[in-house]
Amino acid sequence: MHWDTYNTKGIKLKYIYRYISLEKLIHFLETGSLYFARMDTFEDNLENITPFDITELIGHLPNLDFLSYMDTSIMPEGVAADMVVRRRNALNKVKENLNSQRKKYVSSWALSNSESIGMWDLYAPNGFMIKFERSKLQSLIKSRLKLHSHIISSSDLVIAGRVKYQDYEAIPFEEKGSRLRYSAFRKHIAFKHEEEYRVVIQKVEYSDKLGIEYCLGEIDKLDFELFANPRMSKFSIDKHKRILSKFSKKHILNESKLKPWLKFKDMDIL
């Protein structure tokens, strides 16, 4: 397998965060493994799209019903039908190209120096957050590549880096400048609030697996922090501390650093 980084120069933000449910947190603590989801299972179904295919979508998708408002009687025979076929073929080709998502597996993190209320609300409204130093997690994943030869072949590529957010509507006017070395790191600008840092396992062959488990090692030897949702009550935090202590003695559940700012009026001030 091969290793590479992408769009990492000049990063000044130190931490990456993963906002998750209790079920997924317990799985992580039990196994010491990161789950890499196959790219075609993501909410954004245009993951890994190329600038050319974006241009094809912009040119053809909004006008699928163009015959309903065109006077086809003035067209030479067969022209309208040919336009429909060409438009349909172009869009089906984009769908076919997007099948390459099935070769890529992703572990997604939020790159920041602080928690995000928006990310809490989106991904863990009643959940938890794992916090790593970005450089340490990246080095750990790289150092364990050879131990995962059973899931990552010698021809596969593993890439860590920051996502680039692009305005898809502008790409037809700057298609060449919009190209990325790895299309797996392109997302629509509408997702920029995520400030995503991802690790991608880019396989040569298609796979039927929906996800890949990547073991980082024994959980109590890993260096990370755990936090509860800032809206979680003290009673609930204490309860979950007891639950999670069964899986890790080292990693204690912490209250969110945002909690004092959200709960100031509810505090007892002596």
pLDDT tens figures, 110-122? 999 999 999 999 9
Residues 86 and 63: their CA atoms lie apart, in Å, by 12
The answer to whether position 112 is within a domain reads: yes
What per-residue confidence (pLDDT) applies to 67?
Answer: 46
pLDDT score recorded for residue 172: 84
Residue 230 forms part of a structural domain? yes
User: In this structure, are residues 262 and 231 in contact, taking their beta carbons and an 8 Å threshold?
Assistant: yes
pTM for the whole thing? 0.87
* DSSP letter (8 states) at residue 173: G
pLDDT at 66: 46
Q: Is residue 76 part of a domain?
A: no
* Residue 114 placed within a domain: yes
Domain membership of residue 171 as a residue range:
2-48+99-266
Does residue 14 sit within a domain? yes
Domain count, the chain: 1
Give the residue among 115, 121, 152, 119 at the shortest CA–CA distance from 34.
152
- Write down the pLDDT at residue 75: 54
pLDDT at 61: 67
User: Is 82 part of any domain?
Assistant: no
> Which regions in the chain score pLDDT beneath 70?
60-84, 264-265, 267-270
Give the pLDDT of residue 69: 45
Residue 87 lies in a domain: no
Write the CA distances from 8 to 50, 102, 116, integer angstroms: 21, 25, 21
Q: Give domain status of residue 149, yes or no.
A: yes
**pLDDT confidence of residue 147:** 87
